[in-house]
C-alpha cells in the first residue's frame, strides 16, 4: 500500500522525535479503515474511537469516505447505530435534525420507550448526542432518559465499565476536553476483551509526542516570562505562567499551531497582568492615564506612566505588534487596527468596573454580564487567534464571529462568578453576577439560573458550529471556541478544599 502524503509528512516529523516510531501503526490503522468498506456499523465505531483518542486527524480522507457511505445508519432501528451516526454526522458538518432521527425511539408523547432503558451502549451514545443540542426537544428528553437509566445501571456493571459510565456522566464527551478524555478512553479500551492494538499503539505514540511538544513550548514561555521581568516589577500581580499556557495548549490543538500557542499564551498573560493592575495596584488617576495611552498606541504616550506601567505597556505593545507582523508575513493580512481596538475595548471594560466600584454604583446584572464578557479577556484573545489562523474580520462575517466568541466568553464569566472559590485568593473586588442577580431576585435560586444560562450558551454555540448555514470560519477557529468553553469547567472547577483537582490531573497527564 502506498503511503499517503499526510503520513509521509508526519513520518518526517516523527523521525525528529527520536524514540517515536509509529509509521507502522499509522499504516495498520489505515488498513483497518479499508478492510471492510461495507461494514458501516463497525467502521463508524472505529471512527468514534479515533476521534475520542484524538488521532482522527491522520485519517481525514478515510473518515470522510466512511461518513459519506454511512448516512443510511441514521434510519437504523438500533439506538446505538442511529445516535452514533447522528453525532458523528453533526460533528463533521452534516445537517441532520435530531427530532427526525430519534422519533422512532419515542412514543406518541415524545418520551423514549422503556425497552431502550436496558441498552447500555445505546444509552451511552444517546447521552453523548444529547449534549450537541441546538434547542431540540428530543435531545432534552434524551439527556433526561439516558442520565436516569445510566445512573441506575451503575450498580450492576463490572468495575471497568462502571468507571467508564461514571466518567461519561460526570464529563460528557462533547462538553469535555478531548485530550483529557482521550487518556481515559484508552484505559477503557486496554481493558476490553477484544483489543485494538494498532489504534492503541498509535494513541500512545501521539500522547507522548504531544507531551514532548508541550514541554518544549512551556520551557520557551518560561524563558520569555523570566526575561520579561514583570513578576519582579509588579509583585502583587499573578505569576502563573503554567496556568496561562494551559489555556492556549487546550484551545489550539495540532502540531502545526505550536508558534500560535506560544504567542497566545503571551496575550493571555498580559490580560491577567492588566487585570491585576486595575484591581490591586494602580490608583484611579494612574488607570486613566494608562487607558489613554493604550488608545494612542504609541510608546511615547507611556512615558508619563509609573515605571511598572511602562514595562507592562511595552510588553503588551511588543507582543501585539509581533503578532500583527507574523500575520502579515504568513497570511498577507494587516490586523493591527483590529488588535489595538480589542485592547482599547478591554481597558474600557476595566475602567467601567472601576467606576462602579469607586462610586458605589450597583450595575444591573445584565449590564454587569455584558461588560463582564469583555473583561473576561476572551474576546481579545479570540481576535488575536482569528488573525493568527489566517482569517479576516469583514462586514459579512462580523456577527457570526461575535457570536462564536461571546458564547464561550459568557460561559467563562458565569462559571467564574458562581462563587465556588475566590480565584487565587485575590483581594480585588470585581463584583459578581450571582450577587447582583440574587439582589434583583431575592427568592430565586441564582446558581440554578446561572447553570441554565450556561446550558443556553452551549446551545447557542452548538448552533453556530453545527447549524445548516455553512460557516466561513476555519474549523480550527470553531474548534478553539469549543475548546475554550470546555476548558472553563476545568479551570474554575473548585472542590470543597478550594483546589482544582481536574486541572491538576489534566496538567499532570499532558505535561509531566
Q: What pLDDT, on the 0 to 100 scale, is given for residue 21?
A: 54
Q: What pLDDT, on the 0 to 100 scale, is given for residue 263?
A: 98
Q: What pLDDT, on the 0 to 100 scale, is given for residue 14?
A: 46
The answer to whether residue 248 scores a pLDDT higher than 70 is: yes
Q: What pLDDT, on the 0 to 100 scale, is given for residue 496?
A: 76
Q: What pLDDT, on the 0 to 100 scale, is given for residue 387?
A: 96
pLDDT tens digit sequence for 177-236:
998 899 889 988 888 888 888 899 999 999 999 999 999 999 999 999 999 999 899 888
**How far is C-alpha 48 from the chain's CA centre?**
19
Provide the pLDDT confidence category of residue 1 given band limits of 50, 70 and 90: very low
Q: What pLDDT, on the 0 to 100 scale, is given for residue 11?
A: 42
The topology (CATH level 3) of 229-511 is Farnesyl Diphosphate Synthase (1.10.600)
Neighbours of 201 (CB within 10 A): 16
Alpha helices in 178-257 (DSSP H): 178-190, 197-228, 230-233, 241-251
Q: Where in the chain do CATH 1.10.600.10 domains reside?
A: 229-511
Provide the pLDDT confidence category of residue 80 given band limits of 50, 70 and 90: very high
pLDDT tens digit sequence for 413-442:
999 988 643 444 444 445 689 999 999 999
Could you give the CA distance from residue 8 to residue 181 in angstroms, rounded to a whole number? 28
112 secondary structure, DSSP code:
B
- List beta partners, residue 106: 112
CB 483 within 8 A of CB 251: yes
Could you give the CA distance from residue 339 to residue 379 in angstroms, rounded to a whole number? 11
Q: Looking at residues 490-496, what average pLDDT do you find?
A: 82
C-alpha cell of residue 161: 465499565
Q: Looking at residues 259-277, what average pLDDT do you find?
A: 97
Q: What pLDDT, on the 0 to 100 scale, is given for residue 473?
A: 81
Q: What pLDDT, on the 0 to 100 scale, is given for residue 425?
A: 42
Q: What pLDDT, on the 0 to 100 scale, is given for residue 195?
A: 80
The answer to whether residue 54 scores a pLDDT higher than 70 is: yes
Stronger pLDDT, 162 or 35, i.e. the higher one: 162
pLDDT tens digit sequence for 342-389:
999 999 999 999 999 888 899 999 999 999 999 999 999 999 999 999
Instruction: Please tell me which of 68-82, 139-153, 457-471, 497-511 the model is most confident about, judged by mean pLDDT.
Output: 139-153
pLDDT tens digit sequence for 382-411:
999 999 999 988 766 677 788 899 999 999
C-alpha cell of residue 287: 488607570
Provide the pLDDT confidence category of residue 10 given band limits of 50, 70 and 90: very low
Q: Looking at residues 442-447, what average pLDDT do you find?
A: 94
- List beta partners, residue 112: 106
Q: What pLDDT, on the 0 to 100 scale, is given for residue 4?
A: 39
Q: Looking at residues 321-334, what average pLDDT do you find?
A: 96
The answer to whether residue 36 scores a pLDDT higher than 70 is: no
Could you give the CA distance from residue 353 to residue 372 in angstroms, rounded to a whole number? 9
Choices 3.40.50.2300, 3.60.130.10, 3.30.200.20, 1.50.10.130: CATH for 16-203: 1.50.10.130
Provide the pLDDT confidence category of residue 37 given band limits of 50, 70 and 90: low
The answer to whether residue 20 scores a pLDDT higher than 80 is: no
Average pLDDT over the chain, rounded to an integer: 88
Q: What pLDDT, on the 0 to 100 scale, is given for residue 22?
A: 67
Q: What pLDDT, on the 0 to 100 scale, is given for residue 18?
A: 39
DSSP string, 127-138: HHHHTT-SS-HH
Q: What pLDDT, on the 0 to 100 scale, is given for residue 467?
A: 80
Q: Looking at residues 291-316, what average pLDDT do you find?
A: 94
Distances (CA, A) of 137 to 99, 100, 122, 404: 7, 11, 19, 23
Stronger pLDDT, 295 or 29, i.e. the higher one: 295
CB 400 within 8 A of CB 464: yes
* Whole-number percent of the chain with pLDDT over 70: 91
Q: Looking at residues 270-288, what average pLDDT do you find?
A: 93
Q: What pLDDT, on the 0 to 100 scale, is given for residue 401?
A: 83
Distances (CA, A) of 212 to 219, 241, 297, 322: 11, 18, 38, 26
- Secondary-structure percent of the chain, ordered helix, strand, coil, rounded to 5: 75, 0, 25
Among 138, 123, 136, which Cα is nearest to 172's?
A: 123
Q: What pLDDT, on the 0 to 100 scale, is given for residue 367?
A: 95
Q: What pLDDT, on the 0 to 100 scale, is given for residue 16?
A: 46
305 secondary structure, DSSP code:
S
Q: Where in the chain do CATH 1.50.10.130 domains reside?
A: 16-203
pLDDT tens digit sequence for 120-133:
999 999 999 999 99
The answer to whether residue 9 scores a pLDDT higher than 80 is: no
Could you give the CA distance from residue 338 to residue 387 in angstroms, rounded to a whole number? 10
The answer to whether residue 275 scores a pLDDT higher than 80 is: yes
CA angle 317–318–322, rounded 5-degree value: 120
Amino acid at each position: 500500500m502506498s503511503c499517503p502524503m499526510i503520513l509521509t509528512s508526519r513520518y518526517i516529523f516523527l523521525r525528529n522525535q527520536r524514540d517515536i516510531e509509529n509509521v507502522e501503526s499509522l499504516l495498520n490503522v489505515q488498513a483497518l479503515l479499508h478492510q471492510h468498506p461495507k461494514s458501516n456499523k463497525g467502521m463508524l465505531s472505529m471512527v468514534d474511537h479515533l476521534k475520542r483518542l484524538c488521532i482522527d486527524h491522520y485519517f481525514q480522507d478515510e473518515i470522510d469516505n466512511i461518513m459519506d457511505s454511512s448516512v443510511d445508519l441514521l434510519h437504523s432501528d438500533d439506538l446505538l447505530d442511529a445516535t452514533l451516526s447522528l453525532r458523528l454526522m453533526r460533528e463533521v458538518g452534516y445537517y441532520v435534525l435530531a427530532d427526525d432521527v430519534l422519533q422512532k425511539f419515542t412514543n406518541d408523547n415524545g418520551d423514549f420507550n422503556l425497552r431502550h432503558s436496558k441498552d447500555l451502549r445505546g444509552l451511552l451514545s444517546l447521552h453523548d448526542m444529547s449534549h450537541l443540542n441546538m434547542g431540540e426537544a428530543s435531545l432534552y428528553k434524551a439527556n433526561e432518559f439516558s442520565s436516569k437509566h445510566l445512573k441506575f445501571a451503575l450498580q450492576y456493571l463490572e468495575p471497568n465499565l462502571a468507571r467508564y459510565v461514571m466518567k461519561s456522566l460526570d464529563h460528557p464527551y462533547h462538553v469535555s476536553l478531548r485530550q483529557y478524555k482521550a487518556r481515559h478512553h484508552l484505559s477503557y479500551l486496554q481493558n476490553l476483551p477484544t483489543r485494538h492494538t494498532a489504534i492503541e499503539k498509535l494513541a500512545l505514540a501521539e500522547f507522548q509526542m504531544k507531551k514532548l511538544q508541550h514541554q518544549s513550548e512551556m520551557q520557551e514561555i518560561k524563558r520569555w516570562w523570566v526575561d520579561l521581568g514583570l513578576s519582579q516589577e509588579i509583585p502583587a500581580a499573578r505569576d502563573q505562567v503554567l496556568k496561562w499556557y494551559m489555556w492556549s495548549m487546550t484551545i489550539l490543538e495540532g502540531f502545526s499551531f505550536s508558534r500560535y500557542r506560544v504567542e497566545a499564551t503571551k496575550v493571555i498573560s498580559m490580560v491577567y497582568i492588566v487585570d491585576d493592575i486595575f484591581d490591586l495596584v494602580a490608583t484611579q488617576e494612574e488607570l486613566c492615564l494608562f487607558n489613554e495611552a493604550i488608545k494612542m498606541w504609541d510608546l511615547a504616550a507611556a512615558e508619563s506612566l509609573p515605571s511598572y506601567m511602562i514595562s507592562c505597556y511595552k510588553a503588551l505593545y511588543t507582543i501585539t505588534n509581533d503578532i500583527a507582523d507574523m500575520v502579515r508575513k504568513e497570511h498577507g493580512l494587516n490586523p493591527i487596527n483590529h488588535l489595538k481596538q480589542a485592547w482599547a475595548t478591554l481597558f474600557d471594560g476595566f475602567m467601567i468596573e472601576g467606576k462602579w466600584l469607586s462610586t458605589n454604583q450597583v450595575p444591573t446584572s445584565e449590564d454587569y454580564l455584558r461588560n463582564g464578557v469583555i473583561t473576561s479577556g476572551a474576546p481579545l484573545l479570540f481576535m488575536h487567534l482569528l488573525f493568527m489562523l489566517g482569517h479576516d474580520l469583514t462586514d459579512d462575517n462580523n456577527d457570526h464571529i461575535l457570536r462564536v466568541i461571546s458564547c464561550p466568553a459568557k460561559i467563562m464569566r458565569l462559571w467564574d462568578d458562581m462563587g465556588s472559590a475566590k480565584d487565587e485568593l485575590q483581594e480585588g473586588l470585581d463584583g459578581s453576577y450571582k450577587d447582583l442577580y440574587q439582589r434583583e431576585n431575592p427568592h430565586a435560586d441564582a446558581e440554578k439560573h446561572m447553570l441554565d444560562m450556561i446550558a443556553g450558551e452551549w446551545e447557542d454555540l452548538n448552533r453556530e458550529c453545527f447549524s445548516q448555514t455553512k460557516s466561513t470560519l476555519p474549523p480550527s477557529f470553531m474548534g478553539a471556541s469549543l475548546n475554550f468553553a470546555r476548558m472553563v469547567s476545568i479551570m474554575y472547577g473548585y472542590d470543597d478544599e478550594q483546589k482544582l483537582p481536574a486541572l491538576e490531573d489534566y496538567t499532570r497527564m499532558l505535561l509531566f
